[in-house]
Structure 1
Amino acid sequence: MRKLSLDATDIRILSAVQKYGQLSKTKLAELVKLSPKPCWARLNRLKAAG
């Protein structure tokens, strides 16, 4: 298994999901100060990594 390196944005995404649970793409992106498409791509990458 390949180790995933997390940057500050990844950590903000994970923190928001842990704190608020399921969020819409738009709301999650607002919380982490990222546009929706890249935010969702990062979340999918994090989910795939486990």
Structure 2
Amino acid sequence: MTAPPVKPRNPFAGLAKARSAGPHERSKSAERQAAKRAIAKAKLKPDPDD
């Protein structure tokens, strides 16, 4: 006795999963803002002892 072939619950689910989104690239403005934050964070402040 053999089992009948398994029918998928949603035949379109496999297709949707195959084209699911991956990681997105940062926009130009996001890159610019990140660079601006990095520069602001890296700025050296003068020592108050001097």
* TM category, shorter: 0.3 to 0.5
In the superposition, the TM-score normalised over structure 2's length comes to 0.33
Point out which structure has higher relative CO (alpha carbons under 8 A, 6+ apart): 1
- Bigger radius of gyration among the two: 2
Greater percentage in helix:
1
In the superposition, the TM-score normalised over structure 1's length comes to 0.33
